Structure 1
Amino acid sequence: MLETTEVDDVVSWNSMIGGCARQGFEEEALSLFKKMHARNMKIDDFTYPSVLNSFTSIMDMKNARSVHSLIVKTGFEAYKPVGNALVDMYAKQGNLHCAFEVFNKMPDRDVISWTSLVTGYAHNGSHEEALKLFCHMRIAGVYLDQFVTASILSACAELTVLEFGQQVHANFVKSGLRSSLSVDNSLVTMYAKCGCIEDANRVFDTMQLRDVVTWTALIVGYAQNGKGRDSIRFYDEMIASGMKPDFITFIGLLFACSHAGLVENGRHYFESMDKVYGIKPGPEHYACMIDLLGRSGKLAEAKDLLNQMVVEPDATIWKALLAACRVYGNIELGERAASNLFELEPMNAVPYVLLSNIYSASGKWEDAARIRRLMKSRGISKEPGCSWIEMNSKVHRFMSEDRSHPRTTEIYLKADEIIILIKKAGYVPDMNFALHDMDEEGKELGLAYHSEKLAVAFGLLTVPQGAPIRIFKNLRVCGDCHTAMKFISGVFQRHIILRDSNCFHHFREGKCSCGDYW
């Protein structure tokens, strides 16, 4: 052990500080640095990166800024390794503004500088900014590496920008770099979240090394793409391979069960969490179980599980229960769930809308109006339903009965043609989803021009035959539009991929991958 009271060799001090930082002894590294500084020793460009790396774990912003000030005073900010370490430290602490300021002042940047910044934006939820920075990085002629590739693919997954993700994948392959576990995991996740579960599976099959993140990404991916039984199959293969599931794996597995109506499987996996693997269920797991039981109409059992919870029910749990009450028209339980949500998320419009819909579906128009008035009096606005299609790197957005698109006339003519043809094939508008107190003709017209129907009309006009029509919606697809999409896929012989706020729906030949259970 270095006797810090006697040795004044800078190289030895740097070795000790760097060794502590690398081995996870960040506090010891910072303590050594303070002693080094107190002895007025010469601090150089090898000292600072190790010290700054220690702050990425300790999150001591006050002292981190003090070290930054010292770096500026001693003139080391212009040194590339020090600048890179500053960008990385601020990015990992979530201080993106400071990270960008340091980056912007750097006279010379390399792939590490760019990677630290892009990764910081991606990991802190600023996915669009991460993509923009990545584009600037490529324009600057900086070659990508495994770290920035994994981060940008994760951002693509969150934004569901498939074309961008495919381009990143292609560029990485052309680069000749060897893939890494993080890149492969990000690819599996990106393709799965963009509705390309077959591509996700192909990446999975080529991987020589897999970890629990790999398996979980595929399990969740199949569940989100309406293939819950495949999720269970991969879970069984995962266990057979000797890999142990983690907290996140069970969220994906229970989600798969809830979206496939596999009640017995769900019960079994939920019980095995603690009994077999020692994993205590969290609110997310309870929410999946409440959702599973609620979707299956087992509201009494869902209520019992709610009362037996060892953790406090959060908003996600009450939302799952309220959604089930909406489907099965349970007013009493729905009122309880909504009441709790009013307190937990007072400015969230969802519980007001769902409770109003429960009343409307039961013909209680006055109660529905009362909830809408309450919502308005509290200054809460409902998020409008919006659907969009990306064509040639341009996003085309639609809202219900929207007439702002440049091709509105063509789109509405196509929408009218769609309704005529699918009615001939057996489609009957479901007035339960026209929850406005108006005459039947008005309700039917309202249904015909829902945002996803306008989006699919545009898709039929513009997407080449043989290519899938990819539609995204910010809210849950309504039952009438779901039925209509099945008929449209059969009548027009098209593969329609619709991602709503809940999951992906793959419509082919008059059927949906969710099996009408979503």
Structure 2
Amino acid sequence: MALPAGAGLVAYNAAISRCARAGLYPRALALFREMRGRGLRADEYTLPPLLNSSALLRAPPAAATLHALLLRAGLASHLHVANALVDAYAKLSRPGAARAVFDEMPRRDVVTWTSLLTGLARAGAHDAAVRVYRGMAAAGVDPDEFAVAGVLSSCAGSTMLELGRSVHAAAVRLGFLPFLSVGNSLVSMYAKTGALRDARTVFDAMRARCTITWTALIVGYAQNGRGRQSLEIYTDMVRSGCRPDYVTFIGLLFACSHAGLVDAGRAHFRSMVTDYGIAPGPDHYACMVDLLGRAGRLEEAMDLLNRSSTELDATVWKALLGGCRVHRNAELAERAAEMVWRLDPADAVPYVMLSNLYSRERRWGDVARIRALMKSRGVTKEPGCSWVGVNGVMHLFHVEDRGHPRAAEIYRKVEEMMERIRAGGYVPDTDWALQDEAPDGRERGLAYHSERLAVAFGLLAVPAAAPIRVFKNLRVCGDCHAAIKMVAKVYGREIILRDANCFHHMKDGACSCGDYW
């Protein structure tokens, strides 16, 4: 409904603002078009609610139009207008545009910094978000609770535990711990960086909790190899009266998968539908297929997929492919790989998994065929790398990497490691080598995987009383898993390895995953 014919700018500004606050975003934009049609020019009060409406409608063209208009009208000098523009681009996942506006601003306040930081964090540009946080501190601007929650998210995403601890200290100093968003972010950050005790401590101290809080802890325990405890936390959550959501059940099913709890997984999969009315999505099916595949129930996994009415994505078929790799079912693996290729032709995972499966079976001709197919289709594999943080500096390693300044020491330490773990009973599993070489050649190839180089550097550089925290972008191979467990034992160290799948807390020759990952 149009405003009365005599309505002026003040009336339109008020109406647009009311609509934006009420979530009537299309109506807010329609009023703006009507206003302009009547010859009224926007001022600095018109544009912020319109920019927010454009962002929440996921309408980049509308935001760009408003941006051009405010530049022509000379309104960019108003701080709250520029802040709204930074925030809009951030919400639209256009961090580059948000940064460009930010850099042009002659004045900034905490809202400006926070809008940019949280936008970068949401977009997954975690290193950039951390740089903004540090720039904020250098500029003498104290963060608000939203900035703290945002940078904690980026600490988790970029595995910066020590920075996360310093942000936690800042949150205490600034009195932000009572804010639910800050508490949730702390629980999530500690869980995602492998500091599970700290996550639990923060959780226990929180005065109020919500579904996000409980879910963060459930997922954290699951990812850190504490599947049974994860299910116990879920029981406590239900008893507390807090209702689980879509993400909670992903965490539960992940916990069941990594603890081998097939019956519990089936029960929770049914419960999400019958007790909570949550329709399972691709993530839930991927967890169920992973659970059944790990347990060797590949036919049941296929039956589940055949009965599904959900549109399945490549993740589900990659989960099936993973189960086939574990149980060496090449025929079904090839079918699963074909499904992945149909859904995501550029995904390198099925090529790598098939190649790994064939190499473990010594089917070198098939390994060559898959690699040739991958090359002919222009698909490239993400290179494996591992990194370890020491005194706030990340040290990155690739397979057989000699680029580190202390490479000579690291390689000597690897040789020492191998000698000591062999004496402790370690026998290389050359099934994990991916080349058709003599056994000693395959063994040498395994010795210089990126995670072993990172562990060797950790032994050299991380104080003896501290755990060695290694992060890997891909899944750790079975032989490295066995070797690093033995390293932890013979050196008397705790080694926390996070791969693409989960955390492995290794101590005294054992791993939190129970060798089931």
Q: Is the shorter-chain TM-score for this pair beyond 0.5, marking a shared fold?
A: yes
Residue identity opposite 1:477 in structure 2: V
Deviation of 1:178 after TM superposition, in Å, equals: 5.2
Deviation of 1:63 after TM superposition, in Å, equals: 3.5
Tell whether the 8 Å contact from 1:111 to 1:145 is kept in structure 2 after alignment.
yes
> Match of 1:397, SS?
strand
After superposition, residues 159-174 of structure 1 pair within 5 angstroms as 159-174=158-173
After superposition, residues 458-477 of structure 1 pair within 5 angstroms as 458-477=457-476
**Structure 1 range deviating more: 34-43 or 83-92:** 34-43
Deviation of 1:73 after TM superposition, in Å, equals: 3.0
After superposition, residues 471-490 of structure 1 pair within 5 angstroms as 471-490=470-489
Q: Give the equivalent residue in structure 1 for 2:386.
A: 387
Q: Give the equivalent residue in structure 2 for 1:398.
A: 397
Q: Give the equivalent residue in structure 1 for 2:5.
A: 5
Tell whether the 8 Å contact from 1:216 to 1:252 is kept in structure 2 after alignment.
yes
Deviation of 1:484 after TM superposition, in Å, equals: 1.2
Deviation of 1:296 after TM superposition, in Å, equals: 0.6
Q: Give the equivalent residue in structure 2 for 1:273.
A: 272
Q: Give the equivalent residue in structure 2 for 1:20.
A: 19
CA distance in 2, matches of 1:63, 1:405: 48
Tell whether the 8 Å contact from 1:146 to 1:179 is kept in structure 2 after alignment.
no
Deviation of 1:393 after TM superposition, in Å, equals: 2.1
**Structure 1 range deviating more: 256-265 or 101-110:** 101-110
Q: Give the equivalent residue in structure 1 for 2:46.
A: 47
Tell whether the 8 Å contact from 2:467 to 2:496 is kept in structure 1 after alignment.
yes
Q: Give the equivalent residue in structure 2 for 1:64.
A: 63
After superposition, give the CA deviation of every residue in 1:34-85 in whole Å (9 maximum; x if it has no partner).
3333444464322322222222222333343333333233322211111111
Q: Give the equivalent residue in structure 2 for 1:134.
A: 133
Deviation of 1:151 after TM superposition, in Å, equals: 0.9
Residue 495 (str. 1) matches residue 494 (str. 2): yes
CA distance in 1, matches of 2:384, 2:32: 55
CA distance in 2, matches of 1:379, 1:60: 34
After superposition, residues 414-429 of structure 1 pair within 5 angstroms as 414-429=413-428
Q: Assess, with a 3 A threshold, how the Cα gap between structure 1 residues 39 and 345 changes in structure 2: closer, same or farther.
A: closer
Deviation of 1:216 after TM superposition, in Å, equals: 0.7
CA distance in 2, matches of 1:48, 1:346: 43
CA distance in 2, matches of 1:383, 1:61: 31
Q: Give the equivalent residue in structure 2 for 1:84.
A: 83
CA distance in 1, matches of 2:41, 2:343: 55
> Match of 2:387, SS?
strand
Q: Assess, with a 3 A threshold, how the Cα gap between structure 1 residues 41 and 332 changes in structure 2: closer, same or farther.
A: closer
CA distance in 1, matches of 2:137, 2:275: 48
> Match of 1:395, SS?
strand
Deviation of 1:188 after TM superposition, in Å, equals: 0.8
CA RMSD of aligned residues (A): 1.8
Residue 75 (str. 1) matches residue 74 (str. 2): yes
CA distance in 1, matches of 2:65, 2:337: 49
Q: Give the equivalent residue in structure 2 for 1:432.
A: 431
Q: Assess, with a 3 A threshold, how the Cα gap between structure 1 residues 439 and 211 changes in structure 2: closer, same or farther.
A: same
After superposition, give the CA deviation of every residue in 1:205-259 in whole Å (9 maximum; x if it has no partner).
1111111111111111001101101110111111111111111111111011000
- Give the alignment's TM-score, normalised by structure 1: 0.95
Q: Assess, with a 3 A threshold, how the Cα gap between structure 1 residues 331 and 85 changes in structure 2: closer, same or farther.
A: same
Deviation of 1:337 after TM superposition, in Å, equals: 0.9
* Structure 2: segments with no counterpart, 5+ residues: none
Q: Assess, with a 3 A threshold, how the Cα gap between structure 1 residues 297 and 44 changes in structure 2: closer, same or farther.
A: same
CA distance in 2, matches of 1:390, 1:347: 32
Residue identity opposite 1:111 in structure 2: V
Q: Give the equivalent residue in structure 1 for 2:313.
A: 314
**Structure 1 range deviating more: 260-269 or 488-497:** 488-497
Residue identity opposite 1:420 in structure 2: E
CA distance in 1, matches of 2:434, 2:59: 53
Tell whether the 8 Å contact from 1:294 to 1:302 is kept in structure 2 after alignment.
yes
CA distance in 2, matches of 1:300, 1:182: 43
* Structure 1: segments with no counterpart, 5+ residues: none
Identity between Structure 1 and Structure 2 (%): 55
> Match of 1:471, SS?
strand
After superposition, give the CA deviation of every residue in 1:153-199 in whole Å (9 maximum; x if it has no partner).
11111111112212222222222345411111111111111011111
> Match of 2:167, SS?
helix
Deviation of 1:6 after TM superposition, in Å, equals: 4.0
**Structure 1 range deviating more: 257-266 or 165-174:** 165-174
> Match of 1:387, SS?
strand
Tell whether the 8 Å contact from 1:52 to 1:86 is kept in structure 2 after alignment.
yes
Q: Assess, with a 3 A threshold, how the Cα gap between structure 1 residues 407 and 103 changes in structure 2: closer, same or farther.
A: closer
Deviation of 1:98 after TM superposition, in Å, equals: 2.9
CA distance in 1, matches of 2:497, 2:338: 32
Q: Give the equivalent residue in structure 2 for 1:123.
A: 122
Q: Assess, with a 3 A threshold, how the Cα gap between structure 1 residues 501 and 42 changes in structure 2: closer, same or farther.
A: closer
Q: Assess, with a 3 A threshold, how the Cα gap between structure 1 residues 205 and 335 changes in structure 2: closer, same or farther.
A: same
Tell whether the 8 Å contact from 2:192 to 2:220 is kept in structure 1 after alignment.
yes
> Match of 1:198, SS?
helix
CA distance in 1, matches of 2:62, 2:456: 58
CA distance in 2, matches of 1:386, 1:67: 43
**Structure 1 range deviating more: 406-415 or 243-252:** 406-415
Q: Assess, with a 3 A threshold, how the Cα gap between structure 1 residues 286 and 3 changes in structure 2: closer, same or farther.
A: closer
After superposition, residues 242-391 of structure 1 pair within 5 angstroms as 242-391=241-390
**Structure 1 range deviating more: 325-334 or 21-30:** 21-30
CA distance in 1, matches of 2:61, 2:3: 28
Tell whether the 8 Å contact from 2:318 to 2:336 is kept in structure 1 after alignment.
yes
> Match of 1:277, SS?
coil
Number of positions where the alignment pairs a residue of Structure 1 with one of Structure 2: 517
CA distance in 2, matches of 1:382, 1:41: 56
Q: Assess, with a 3 A threshold, how the Cα gap between structure 1 residues 177 and 216 changes in structure 2: closer, same or farther.
A: closer
Deviation of 1:19 after TM superposition, in Å, equals: 1.8
CA distance in 2, matches of 1:141, 1:64: 31
Residue identity opposite 1:234 in structure 2: I
CA distance in 2, matches of 1:33, 1:413: 70
Q: Assess, with a 3 A threshold, how the Cα gap between structure 1 residues 350 and 206 changes in structure 2: closer, same or farther.
A: same
Residue identity opposite 2:258 in structure 1: H
Residue identity opposite 2:456 in structure 1: A
CA distance in 1, matches of 2:495, 2:446: 19
Residue identity opposite 1:480 in structure 2: D
Tell whether the 8 Å contact from 2:178 to 2:207 is kept in structure 1 after alignment.
no
Residue identity opposite 1:383 in structure 2: E
CA distance in 2, matches of 1:63, 1:355: 46
Residue identity opposite 2:34 in structure 1: K
Tell whether the 8 Å contact from 1:2 to 1:16 is kept in structure 2 after alignment.
no
- Give the alignment's TM-score, normalised by structure 2: 0.96
Residue identity opposite 1:284 in structure 2: D
Deviation of 1:94 after TM superposition, in Å, equals: 2.3
Tell whether the 8 Å contact from 1:385 to 1:475 is kept in structure 2 after alignment.
yes
Q: Assess, with a 3 A threshold, how the Cα gap between structure 1 residues 32 and 385 changes in structure 2: closer, same or farther.
A: closer
Q: Give the equivalent residue in structure 2 for 1:239.
A: 238
